[in-house]
């Protein structure tokens, strides 16, 4: 079976992008990163992609009149690289309904909680305020509702008594780096159901 071609969309650090790049470099991993798109020209992840010779594109929301035009520019970049699967990896711009519908079933996201618990931003601070003992991370298909589509894979992570949002984020991030490549493999091997 041909390797899945990934388009990875980022806005910042790109550590999940790095986990995908590293996985794709492994023998027999059924995917390659065909393109990295950032909506932020300063994103550290762009340098990670560049260091590996992966094509990059910067598509800024402010350069496009409305969200449909922004989404269209994203679609054109992704299409130009024949990507089969769009992976949101810390992409902090909400995508329009038309984009989500166009890529439905081929558009996935990673979120730093055990969805449906704690959708949205500032996840780890809210987890600590809620006082739960376990949190985690989720890779899911993207649907029109933010952080709500069908779950592909989750990993739970303990909350420690003296955690700060930063220490908890670091523990969850390590789990994210494990499950994002696993989710891509499940999709590539048609084993998500």
Q: Give me the active site residues, please.
A: 111
Measured distance CA(91)–CA(105) in Å, rounded: 18
* Residue ranges that bind ligand GAR, judged by CB under 6 A: 10, 12-16, 89-90, 110-112, 147, 173, 176
Q: How far is the CB of 39 from ligand GAR (least distance, A)?
A: 12
In sequence order, the 6+-apart residues with CB closer than 8 A to the CB of 54 are 21, 33, 34, 35, 36
Q: Shortest Cβ contact with ligand GAR: which residue?
A: 90
Q: How far is the CB of 178 from ligand GAR (least distance, A)?
A: 13
Measured distance CA(146)–CA(98) in Å, rounded: 14
Measured distance CA(135)–CA(70) in Å, rounded: 34
Read off the tokens for 87: 């992976």
Q: Smaller CB distance to ligand GAR: residue 15 or 135? A: 15
Q: Smaller CB distance to ligand GAR: residue 155 or 193? A: 155
φ/ψ (deg, to 5) at 69: -70, -40
- Are 135 and 118 in contact by the 8 Å Cβ rule? The answer is yes
In sequence order, the 6+-apart residues with CB closer than 8 A to the CB of 69 are none
Q: Smaller CB distance to ligand GAR: residue 14 or 149? A: 14
Q: How far is the CB of 138 from ligand GAR (least distance, A)?
A: 9
Q: How far is the CB of 2 from ligand GAR (least distance, A)?
A: 26
Q: Smaller CB distance to ligand GAR: residue 50 or 79? A: 50
């Amino acid at each position: 079976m041909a390797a899945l071609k990934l388009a990875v969309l980022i806005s910042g650090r790109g550590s999940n992008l790095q986990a995908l790049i590293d996985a794709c470099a492994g023998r027999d991993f059924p995917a390659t990163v065909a393109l990295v798109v950032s909506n932020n020209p300063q994103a550290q992840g762009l340098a990670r992609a560049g260091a590996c010779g992966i094509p990059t594109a910067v598509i800024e929301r402010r350069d496009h009149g409305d969200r449909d035009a922004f989404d269209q520019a994203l679609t054109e970049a992704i299409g130009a690289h024949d990507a089969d699967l769009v992976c949101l990896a810390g992409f902090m711009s909400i995508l329009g309904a038309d984009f989500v519908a166009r890529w439905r079933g081929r558009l996935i996201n990673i979120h730093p909680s055990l969805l449906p618990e704690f959708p949205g931003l500032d996840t780890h601070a809210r987890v600590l305020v809620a006082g739960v003992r376990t949190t985690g991370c989720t890779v899911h298909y993207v649907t029109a509702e933010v952080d709500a589509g069908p779950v592909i894979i989750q990993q739970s992570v303990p909350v420690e008594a003296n955690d700060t949002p930063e220490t908890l984020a670091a523990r969850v991030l390590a789990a994210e780096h494990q499950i994002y490549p696993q989710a891509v493999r499940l999709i590539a091997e048609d084993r998500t159901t």
